[in-house]
Structure 1
Amino acid sequence: MSGTLDHVMMRVGDLEESLDWYTTHLNYEEKDRWEADTFTNVYLGPEDMHEEGAMLELTHNHDQDSYDVGDAWGHIAVRVPEGDLEESYQQLMDDGVEDYRDPESCNGRYAFVKDPDGHEIEIVKRDPEQGAKWSIDHTMIRVEDADEALGFWTRKFEYEHTGRWESDSFANYFMKPEGASEEAMAVELTYNYDGRSYEMGDAWGHLAVRADDLNDYWETLEEREAEEYRTPEECDNNYAFTKDQDGHEIEVLERDFDGSLFPN
């Protein structure tokens, strides 16, 4: 099972405003889109995105212009080169981006801003060889039981630790498939020690895992007792969905980069 993280999806209220924000401030370009009767999906990413890099999927439901972010969904993190954090952050401020946590308040290690819908975006320092500027480094979700969450990603998807941070009140665990490139996105599992629970909200969509063969991958997930949220048969054998122990949705799909990102 390869399982590279393909994209992260979140919902936006004003698609054109969001597209302008991401293309202007993060220099993203539109990779593809899907127009349905009731919604639009748009895939975005840096122009020179690595083949294992993850895209951002913006979903706009035509009859809804606002969403509840909730607190189970944390943020996406985007990369800037070492030594470029303060300059990149200041450029965003000069361009009118909403500040959330500046580099000084984060000991010069990272910073946070917000997009027009209030989605949090962390800016992290990385070696340029770890991915293009503004490429997605990780997606953070909050979990109520660290042992269960780590077991889920390890057993179901064969992910392994690529980093961890233990503090007095919380822990962060970073997970990727074995052998994933530096440019691939990680999932960050945040566990707060105080036993709190979380609200999912409807602004947070899902993570997507790329499979070499959808049906083979799904069969393995079934053998490992993953929840069947939407099976391949229910999705015309184009993709499928499972859920983790906290209700975070995970899409499984095949990807053909020779043409449209979407199945015919």
Structure 2
Amino acid sequence: MTAPDFSQWKMNHTMIRVKDPAESIAFYNRLGLVLIDILLQPSAKFDLYFLGYDYPTSDSAGKDRSDRQGLLELTHNYGTEHDDSYHVSTGNDGLLGFEHLGISVGNLRAVCKTLDELGATWHEKIEMGSPNRAICKDSDGYYVEIVSESRNADSEETAMNIETHVLNHTGLRVKNPKTSLSWYREVLGMTVFEEVKGDGFTHYFMGYNDDTQEDSRSLFSREGMVKLVWIHRSENKEGKVYHNGNIEPQGFGHLAVAVDDIEVACEFFQQRKVTWKKRLTQGRMKSIAFIQDPDDYWIEIIQNARIKVPLGIQ
């Protein structure tokens, strides 16, 4: 079997669990994300909220949910908003794994000033670290990295323009970069756009090009990348190093890739001998599949409805 047409695949969304969807949606609305779709599942006692950038200048503006890159899926399990003992695992407090969501903006200082005025909680302000990024916390404590699209913070910026914002990447810590890079290239067909080396770490930005994202585009103008975070020498540790967010305590859920033909994709995954979490034919929803990467992070596979009619609800 030949490889699928990876040029048709998209890094569709990142899923995180939230305690109170009203609070979470309000927080992300402040960063310009808007509600794209809601999938209510009362019989299963959870709801899914899909947020993204949908402005005239946004790459995915007006597209079907499954035909987009750079969406955020918020999963709410009924009752958590009333449970004082419920807290998500952010991937940064205690068990490490998921690192952050990355949003690129055209006016970093203005965004930070606006968030300050709204009472945002900061992990790292511009003044504390890099001049081209800041890290705040959402209502559940997940890290949200806000990075300047031009890689610098212009001190003359005065107004926040949400139409310049992009859900740029999702940061995941990985144990062995060689193993993970090979897997994301060969199994998911992603391209490495840039490798960034730092003091004791290396970041690998990966993703898909689409019709609007030519190779010449700047790194932080892209939608929906995956940033693999390698902490040097982690590959020498025994066993699993990182928490995938789906074993208690839960938090981060999965990445989701939209494909041109989900049945062909699943045949390809079987040929590649992937680790399955849920085959297409298993479970209640036989329209989606889940595979696991080398660090056991879940990857949801969905059908791009623009290309082919899905097998069911997804």
Q: Given the two structures, how large is their TM-score scaled by the length of structure 2?
A: 0.76
Which residue in the other structure is 1:57 paired with? 73
Per-residue deviation at 1:106? 2.6
- Residue number among 94, 99, 102 corresponding to 1:74 in the alignment: 99
In 1: Cα distance, 2:108 partner to 2:252 partner: 26
In 1: Cα distance, 2:280 partner to 2:164 partner: 35
- Residue number among 224, 231, 242 corresponding to 2:291 in the alignment: 242
Q: Which runs of 4+ in 1 moved over 6 A?
A: none
Which residue in the other structure is 1:31 paired with? 36
SS state of the match for residue 304, structure 2? Answer: coil
Per-residue deviation at 1:87? 1.4
SS state of the match for residue 277, structure 2? Answer: coil
> Is 1:205 aligned with 2:253?
yes
The letter of the residue matching 2:149 is R
Q: Which structure has the larger Rg?
A: 2
SS state of the match for residue 100, structure 1? Answer: strand
Which residue in the other structure is 1:86 paired with? 109
Note the alpha carbon deviations across 1:188-225, whole angstroms, 9 max, x for none.
00011132622334110110001011111111111112
Aligned length: 256
Which residue in the other structure is 1:253 paired with? 302
Per-residue deviation at 1:167? 2.1
The letter of the residue matching 1:50 is D
In 1: Cα distance, 2:48 partner to 2:306 partner: 17
In 2: Cα distance, 1:151 partner to 1:176 partner: 13
Query: Do the aligned residues in 2 keep the contact of 1:157 with 1:177 (CA within 8 Å)?
Result: no
Per-residue deviation at 1:153? 0.4
Superposition map of 1:92-131 within 5 A: 92-126=115-149
The letter of the residue matching 2:182 is G
> Is 1:215 aligned with 2:246?
no
Note the alpha carbon deviations across 1:57-98, whole angstroms, 9 max, x for none.
0001114342222320010101111xx111111111111111
- Residue number among 48, 52, 58 corresponding to 1:41 in the alignment: 48
Query: Do the aligned residues in 2 keep the contact of 1:214 with 1:252 (CA within 8 Å)?
Result: yes
Query: Do the aligned residues in 1 keep the contact of 2:102 with 2:170 (CA within 8 Å)?
Result: yes
Identity of aligned residues (%): 25
SS state of the match for residue 164, structure 2? Answer: coil
Query: Do the aligned residues in 2 keep the contact of 1:53 with 1:135 (CA within 8 Å)?
Result: no
In 1: Cα distance, 2:103 partner to 2:77 partner: 25
In 1: Cα distance, 2:306 partner to 2:261 partner: 15
The letter of the residue matching 1:186 is M
Which residue in the other structure is 2:156 paired with? none
The structure with the greater share of residues assigned to strand is 1
SS state of the match for residue 305, structure 2? Answer: coil
Which residue in the other structure is 2:177 paired with? 146
The letter of the residue matching 2:27 is W
SS state of the match for residue 234, structure 1? Answer: coil
The letter of the residue matching 1:5 is M
Which structure 2 residue ranges, 5 or more long, are not aligned?
Answer: 1-5, 61-67, 81-85, 151-161
Query: Do the aligned residues in 1 keep the contact of 2:172 with 2:227 (CA within 8 Å)?
Result: yes
CA RMSD of aligned residues (A): 2.2
